[in-house]
Amino acid sequence: MAQRYTFRKGMQVYGPDDRPLGPIENFDNESFTFRGRRFGSDAISRLERDRIYLNDTTYRGLGNLAEGEGTIRVPVVEERLDVEKRAVQTGEVGIRKEVTEERVNIPVETMREEVRVERVDVPERPVKPGEIDTAFREGTIRVPVRAEQAFVEKEAVVTGEVVVNKERQTERQTVSDTVRKEHVDVDEDYKRYRPEFERHFAARQSGMGRWEEVSPKFRSRWEQRYGKGGERWETYEPRYRYAYEMAYNPRYQGRRWNEVESDLRRDWETRYRDQPWDRVKDSIRDAWENMTDAVGAKTGQTRAVGGTTTRSFTDAEPNYRYGYTAARDPKYQGRRFNEVEPDLRRNYETAKVGGGRTWDDVREEVEEAFDRINRS
């Protein structure tokens, strides 16, 4: 079972390395909101006085937070090609030797002895001493006859060489592949609308109706005060609507006009530079003073034990962003909400945008964001 902690306003969030990350934005009995996200007790490693220390897992899930308070570093990742060269066999050259036979005729001159026997008459003479020994003996005289014969010997000799040369050639090749990149799209336009979404959410939590539902009452009040002067309601409507929305802003609930006028003036002059504050403040004040009592009476109905709301804007913001994104989609631009609602509902239920809440629960929040963008 997760440990229970008691959260207080002004508590600071720290990382496991004692790095300050910023203050909590909202809290209830079981969780707190920080950086627009809700965290439960299981995200905490320890709590010391007014310091909440996140555990390692939660801290890593936040991304790389910068040293400065309120700054978040979002890593932008892309793939790059790293080309290596390896020697591979792309082919081979085969040199084959064949043995053939041929008859070679070489003329050779040889000598041989031939025997020719001749009888030669000589004058008579006495037998010499060496001849007497062989005289009167029978026998055969053998005279060897010699001749030259041609004998063939074969000797292997080198008569030539085959030389194979390899040369290295350098050629330029283009290597291509598909790489992925992350692109960070900071939607500054959404930041401009976010305060209006917060005010609508506060009004919805308080139990008051949408502007379209309550505007007839404001118009009736305007007609009583300004209608006879020849002015048009369309000129005054933005002022009454501004007061209506600001009255539901948690920053201003329960505060008097003289306490909030300076803040409202700065905000108004930032948004509507072409309409001087001195020209519009009377009608804004009229709507403000008419609203503050009603808001104060009804907001108490939405409080839970401990004095905190049962559902915060952080919980509802994905629904407003969903309607905002749909209104910016070219497929839905310029179309009425009831025309595109079937598509939006089907996509919502498929993607589970609202964290388990049904379409009927979040429809009004989506519709408010969608219509507001189309009206602007």
Residues 208-249 have pLDDT tens digits of 666 777 788 888 888 888 777 778 888 888 888 888 878 777
Contact 313, 321 (CB under 8 A): no
Ordered strands of the 51-54 beta sheet:
20-23, 12-14, 51-54, 44-48
| pLDDT for 66 | 38
| 83-103 pLDDT tens trace | 778 788 777 777 778 888 888
| pLDDT for 182 | 60
Q: What is the CA radius of gyration of the chain?
A: 55
Is the pLDDT at 166 greater than 90, yes or no?
no
Average pLDDT over residues 102-116: 84
**Which residues 6+ apart lie within 8 Å of 273 measured at CB?**
none
Contact 48, 13 (CB under 8 A): no
| pLDDT for 366 | 92
| pLDDT for 34 | 82
| pLDDT for 184 | 52
Task: Round to whole Å and give the CA distance between 263 and 247.
Answer: 12
| pLDDT for 35 | 79
H or E stretch including 183?
A: none
Average pLDDT over residues 284-305: 58
Q: Is 335 exposed, middle or buried (0-12, 13-18, 19+ CB in 10 A)?
A: middle
What tokens does 215 get? 């505007």
**Which residues 6+ apart lie within 8 Å of 36 measured at CB?**
25, 314, 317
Q: How many residues does the chain have?
A: 376
Distance of alpha carbon 333 from the chain centroid: 28
Is the pLDDT at 300 greater than 50, yes or no?
no
Q: Which segment of 82-86, 165-169, 172-176, 291-295 scores lowest on mean pLDDT?
A: 291-295
Percent of the chain with pLDDT over 90: 7
| 124-136 pLDDT tens trace | 888 777 777 777 7
Asked whether the whole model's pTM tops 0.95, one would answer no
| pLDDT for 265 | 92
What three-state secondary structure class fits 269? helix
What angle do the packed helices 257-271 and 233-247 form, to 10 degrees? 120
CB-CB neighbours of 183 under 10 Å: 6
Contact 304, 326 (CB under 8 A): no
| pLDDT for 370 | 93
| pLDDT for 327 | 92
**Which residues 6+ apart lie within 8 Å of 222 measured at CB?**
233, 236, 240, 283
| pLDDT for 299 | 44
| pLDDT for 277 | 93
Q: Give the residue with greater pLDDT, 187 vs 360.
A: 360
CB-CB neighbours of 133 under 10 Å: 9
Is the pLDDT at 110 greater than 60, yes or no?
yes
Residues 265, 266, 267, 271, Cα dihedral to 10°: 100
What tokens does 282 get? 């009377």
| pLDDT for 69 | 43
